[in-house]
A and B are shown apart, each in its own frame.
Chain A
C-alpha cells in the first residue's frame, strides 16, 4: 500500500531523473462516519482481539486453545452418539456450559484484562476519549465485544452438538428446542460473565492481577456455594439449597435454566429452584448485569483524560 505514483506530472528535466518526489500533504475531505461507526469499530476490534486476531501469535494461543477445548468434547459426544445410534445425546445442551465452566472462567479471566486492562496500563484510554466517542460508547463496545466472544465460545459446542444430533437423525423438534434453550442460557451466561470479568479487570491496570482476581471471584464463589449447598443438603435443609445458589455466577445460570429452560439442575439432590424462586434468579442475574454496566460507567467517568 501507499505506493506513490507521480502520474500526470510533466517529465522531469534531464539530469533530474533520480529526484525523490515529495507529494506533500494531502487533506482529507472524505466522509467522517461519527460516533456510531467508531463504536462499531471498537467493538469489532475488541471482539477480534478476544481471539487474538490482529494481535501477536502469542496472544492467539490461549483463546484458540480454549475454543478447541470447548468444542472437542462436543465433537466426541456427537461421534459417540452417531456411532452407537443412541436415541438421545448423552449431554443436554443446557448442561454443556455447566460442565465446561472451568474453561469458560479461564477464558474470561484471560480475555477481560486483555480487553480493558491494557488500555488502562498503556494509558490508551485518553486517546479514545479525545475522539467523538463517549464513556458510554466505550463501555458498551467493550461489554458487547466480550459478551459476544463468550457467546461464540459457549455456543460453538452447542452448534456442534446440534448439527451432530441432526446427522444422527435424532428428533428434529426435540433437538431444536433443546438447542434454542441452550442458546438462551449461554447468552445469559455470556452477559453475566462478561460484566463481572470486565468490572474486576477495569479496576487494575495490571493484567496479572486482573487474571487472578477474575479466577478467584468465579471459582471461590462457586466453591463456597457448592460446599454450602452440599452441607445444607446433607443436613436435610434442602429448602436452603436454591437460595444459596444465588451467590455464585455459574449456579445463578444453573438456577435460571433449571427453572425456565427445562434443564436438570446440577445442584446437590438435583433439585433446582421452582418457578417462584426462578423469578428471583432471573432478577438477580439481570440485576448483576445492570450493576456491572453501571460500575463500568462510573469507573470510566473517572478515568477520562
Chain B
C-alpha cells in the first residue's frame, strides 16, 4: 500500500523526516509518534502535496512525486484539525466533497447518504454542522474521507478531543473501515495504547526516524500480563502487600503496577495459563480480601517504545511521591 525509501524532509531549521524507510501492507496500520515526530509531514508527502528533500515514496504503487493527483483520487484524508463550515448541513458538505473527488452528481448524493449512515449519522445530517457535538463532527470528517470509496484512507488523530466512549466508537469504526468496507487505513495517534486494539500493524517514528515497524501481535501478545487490585481488611491493613507475599510464597513473581502515583495498589504478574487465574483467586480468597479487579493487560506499546525514558519518569515520579 505504502512504501518509502530513505525518505527525508528537511526544513531550514528542522529535519522532519530522516531517511525513513517503511513498508505498509493492506489492513489497519497505526503511525505512532509524539507531537512533532513527523507524522503529518509524512502524510503530506504521501498525498503528493509536499516534495520530499530526498528519497522516494510510493502509494498504491504510484510515485508520490509524479502521480500526486492520481493518488489523491484513490485515497481519502481526514485532517487532525477542524475543517467543517458550521453553516451547511453534513449532507450538503459531504456531497460537495464527493463531487470534488470526481463523483458525478447523482453518485455523489447516493454515496453521501450511504457513507453518513455507515459512520452513524442519521436524521441530524440535515442540520447545520455548527450544532454538532465533537463526536458527530469527527464522523462527518470521516465521512468526507470515505465518500469516494478510496482504497486507502489517512486518518490524522481521529480520536482527538473525544471522550472515552466516543473514542471507543471511533476506534471500532476504524476497524470496520477495513473489515467491512475493505479500505486500508493509516491512522496516526500520539496515544500508543489505543492503537494496539485497533491496528494490525504499528509503525513507530520519533524525531523523523523509524523506531520500529511490526505487527501488533509481535508487540503485545507474546505474554499476557494480569493486573490485580485488592481491598484492605483489618486483618491485612495492606492487602496488596499481603497478596504479593502470598504469591511469592507460591513461587509467582509479582511486580508493582507502574510507578505513577495511585497505581501502587496494582500488582502485575505473568499469566502462564488457566492455573494462574485459579491460583490468584485462591490466594485472595484465603486471605479474605476483596478482589477489586483482575484484568488482562497487554504490554503497552509505550514500554517497547521508550523504556529508558520511562525509567527516568519512574524515578521522577517516585521522587515526587516521597
* Contact bitstring B103-139, A, C-beta under 8 A = 1, else 0: 1100101110110011000000000100000000000
Q: Tell me whether A126 and B182 are in contact (CB under 8 A).
A: no
Which residues of the partner chain B approach A26 to less than 8 Å between Cβ atoms?
114
Complex Cα distance, B103 from A237, in Å, reads: 62
In the assembled complex, the CB of A26 is this many whole angstroms from the nearest CB of chain B, namely: 6
**Minimal Cβ-Cβ distance residue in A for B182:** A27
Interface residues of B in 77-103 (CB under 8 A from A): 77, 79, 81-88, 92, 96-97, 99-103
Q: Is B148 an interface residue (CB 8 A)?
A: yes
With contacts A124-B85, A126-B79, A132-B102 known, what are 14 further pairs, Cβ within 8 A? Answer: A2-B117, A25-B114, A32-B73, A33-B103, A41-B99, A54-B88, A55-B88, A122-B84, A127-B77, A127-B97, A130-B47, A130-B72, A132-B72, A305-B79
Q: Is B149 an interface residue (CB 8 A)?
A: yes
Which residues of the partner chain A approach B47 to less than 8 Å between Cβ atoms?
130, 305
Complex Cα distance, B110 from A26, in Å, reads: 11
Given known contacts A127-B79, A305-B44, A38 and B104 CB-to-CB distance under 8 angstroms: no
Which residues of the partner chain B approach A130 to less than 8 Å between Cβ atoms?
47, 49, 72, 76-77, 79
Which residues of the partner chain A approach B102 to less than 8 Å between Cβ atoms?
31-35, 37-38, 131-132
Which residues of the partner chain B approach A133 to less than 8 Å between Cβ atoms?
100
Q: Tell me whether A31 and B104 are in contact (CB under 8 A).
A: yes
Given known contacts A127-B79, A132-B72, A45 and B96 CB-to-CB distance under 8 angstroms: yes
Partner among A56, A118, A132, A304 whose Cβ is within 8 Å of the Cβ of B50: A304
Which residues of the partner chain B approach A24 to less than 8 Å between Cβ atoms?
180
Q: Is A169 an interface residue (CB 8 A)?
A: no
Q: Tell me whether A25 and B83 are in contact (CB under 8 A).
A: no
Q: Tell me whether B69 and A134 are in contact (CB under 8 A).
A: yes
Partner among B49, B76, B84 whose Cβ is within 8 Å of the Cβ of A124: B84
Interface of A: prevailing SS: loop
- The bracket for how many chain B residues form the interface is 35 or more
Q: Tell me whether A132 and B73 are in contact (CB under 8 A).
A: yes
Interface residues of A in 31-72 (CB under 8 A from B): 31-35, 37-38, 41-42, 45, 54-56, 59
Complex Cα distance, B102 from A59, in Å, reads: 27
Q: Is A30 an interface residue (CB 8 A)?
A: yes
Partner among B85, B86, B104, B114 whose Cβ is within 8 Å of the Cβ of A2: B114
Partner among B49, B84, B101, B103 whose Cβ is within 8 Å of the Cβ of A305: B49
Which residues of the partner chain A approach B69 to less than 8 Å between Cβ atoms?
35, 132, 134
The 25 sampled A-B contact pairs (Cβ below 8 Å) are: A1-B110, A2-B110, A2-B117, A27-B149, A28-B107, A30-B107, A32-B73, A32-B148, A38-B99, A45-B99, A54-B92, A119-B85, A122-B83, A122-B86, A123-B83, A127-B77, A127-B83, A129-B49, A130-B76, A132-B102, A133-B100, A304-B44, A305-B43, A305-B49, A305-B50
Which residues of the partner chain B approach A131 to less than 8 Å between Cβ atoms?
72-73, 97, 100-102
Q: Is A128 an interface residue (CB 8 A)?
A: yes
Q: Is B181 an interface residue (CB 8 A)?
A: yes
Complex Cα distance, B77 from A131, in Å, reads: 9
Interface residues of B in 178-196 (CB under 8 A from A): 180-182
Given known contacts A38-B100, A131-B101, A134-B69, A28 and B86 CB-to-CB distance under 8 angstroms: no
Using a CB–CB distance below 8 Å, which chain B residues touch chain A?
40, 43-44, 47, 49-50, 69-70, 72-73, 76-77, 79, 81-88, 92, 96-97, 99-104, 107, 109-111, 113-114, 117-118, 128, 144, 148-149, 180-182
Complex Cα distance, B182 from A24, in Å, reads: 12
Complex Cα distance, B69 from A133, in Å, reads: 7
In the assembled complex, the CB of B218 is this many whole angstroms from the nearest CB of chain A, namely: 30
In the assembled complex, the CB of B141 is this many whole angstroms from the nearest CB of chain A, namely: 9
Q: Tell me whether A123 and B49 are in contact (CB under 8 A).
A: no
Which residues of the partner chain A approach B180 to less than 8 Å between Cβ atoms?
24-25
Given known contacts A38-B101, A127-B144, A28 and B83 CB-to-CB distance under 8 angstroms: no
Interface centre among B79, B83, B111 (most CB of A within 10 A): B83
Q: Tell me whether A30 and B104 are in contact (CB under 8 A).
A: yes
Q: Tell me whether A41 and B96 are in contact (CB under 8 A).
A: yes
In the assembled complex, the CB of A61 is this many whole angstroms from the nearest CB of chain B, namely: 14
* Contact bitstring A12-35, B, C-beta under 8 A = 1, else 0: 000000000000111110111111
**Minimal Cβ-Cβ distance residue in B for A45:** B96
Which residues of the partner chain B approach A118 to less than 8 Å between Cβ atoms?
85
In the assembled complex, the CB of A304 is this many whole angstroms from the nearest CB of chain B, namely: 6
Which residues of the partner chain A approach B86 to less than 8 Å between Cβ atoms?
122
Q: Tell me whether A1 and B114 are in contact (CB under 8 A).
A: no
Interface centre among A54, A123, A127 (most CB of B within 10 A): A127
Given known contacts A25-B181, A131-B72, A32 and B79 CB-to-CB distance under 8 angstroms: no
In the assembled complex, the CB of A124 is this many whole angstroms from the nearest CB of chain B, namely: 5
Complex Cα distance, B85 from A38, in Å, reads: 19
* Contact bitstring A258-285, B, C-beta under 8 A = 1, else 0: 0000000000000000000000000000
Closest 10 CB pairs of A and B: A2-B113, A28-B149, A130-B77, A32-B102, A41-B99, A25-B181, A33-B102, A122-B85, A132-B69, A123-B83
Q: Tell me whether A1 and B113 are in contact (CB under 8 A).
A: yes
Interface centre among B44, B79, B102, B181 (most CB of A within 10 A): B102
Which residues of the partner chain A approach B72 to less than 8 Å between Cβ atoms?
130-132
Which residues of the partner chain A approach B70 to less than 8 Å between Cβ atoms?
132
Which residues of the partner chain B approach A54 to less than 8 Å between Cβ atoms?
88, 92
